[in-house]
Amino acid sequence: MTDLPQGFTVHVANMGVKDDTNDVMVLNCETPATAVGVFTRSRFVGPSVTISRHNISSGTARAVVVVSKNANVATGATGHANATEITQLVGAAINADPSEVIIGSTGVIGVQYPMERIRSHLTTLHTPFQERSADVAASAIMTTDTYPKVASASAGPATVVGFAKGVGMIEPDMATMIAVITTDAHISAHELDRTFRRVVDRTFNALSIDTDTSTSDMAVVLASGIAGPTDETQFEAALLDVCLNLTRQLAADGEGAETLIVVNVTRARDDDQARRVAKAIVNSPLVKTAIHGRDPNWGRVAMAIGKCHDDTDINQEEVTICFGHQEMYPTPATSPALLELETYLASDEVHIGVDLGLAEGTFTAYGCDLTDGYVRINADYTT
């Protein structure tokens, strides 16, 4: 079990949104925490995103509440009023203003909250909370995840601990799934925002399970400040370590997934071009199914690179494609190497390397194979 940093406690419970498992998580900071976040840019967001964007803009927060199994998206004025009431109820429970409460919601779209059940539970809630386990918090926010996702790292006197959920409907656009990062480092909102956005760009925004951007994506970080000032370089390294760890866990646990796919693009014109190419590869259903079938079909990688048709400086004669350490193009693998590749592709983690031969741009994307399990989970999601 991983404990939350100094200043943070958590409450979890079943309010009746789910049938028989915990469906609410309330993270409380005993004093106002420095807080920043990034959110989905979907044009079909729910009230949780709208309210949280507004509340976190102050640069401080006292709590994060996440309701699991109900996204509360496309629920109109009633849905917005219900989400607002939840922030009011949580605020009253921890003696904070509702504007200091960040709300996340995840699950089925288009269904109203069961407010009588939620209200009945939250009106009895009060601090102090006794639980400090990040694992318990992570378990309470899961939907189709198969296990809770937690990561931690140290930054001098401070600790960074994060937990996240989300294994489907993931193609981030300025955020991803739901991720809550906590730290006891003392840091200004301005510096925390700049650092977090740099980290998110290389971690959560490098993740794709199925190319679908969620209506409810949210990644937030809260800093209690209790551990005091921390070296900025050390802090960013710890934050990167935690977010990258969570990113890899989310990719590996993609709905129905059996293999983590890591695509590393090097020597691109710039990092943006490397990102486009890496995402084109990791998002390709043909690449995903080839990896699932243990088929060393590098032609599917070449196809995915070729889809970046606006990048006219990509010259196929300068490109190199590798599976693991084995070059596949332009030098074809021999029969013995192909047999070894079949074994490699059956491992839990497969790396695809692409060298564009242009300049110094790099980017690494994270995804997973495409299996019949993904189809079954999503074919039967609401039925």
Could you give the residue numbers annotated as active site? 176
How are beta strands 101-108 and 60-70 bridged, if at all? parallel
Is the four-CA dihedral 236, 65, 36, 365 of positive or negative sign? Answer: positive
Distance CA 129, CA 141 (A): 17
E strand or H helix at 79, and its extent? Answer: helix 76-94
Structure tokens at 25: 């998580």
Give the C-alpha separation, 182 to 165, whole Å: 15
End-to-end CA distance of the chain: 34
Instruction: Output the six-digit token pair for 246.
Output: 């969570």
Question: Nearest 5°: CA angle at 348, between 345 and 354?
Answer: 55
User: Rounded CA gap, 296 and 287, in Å?
Assistant: 10
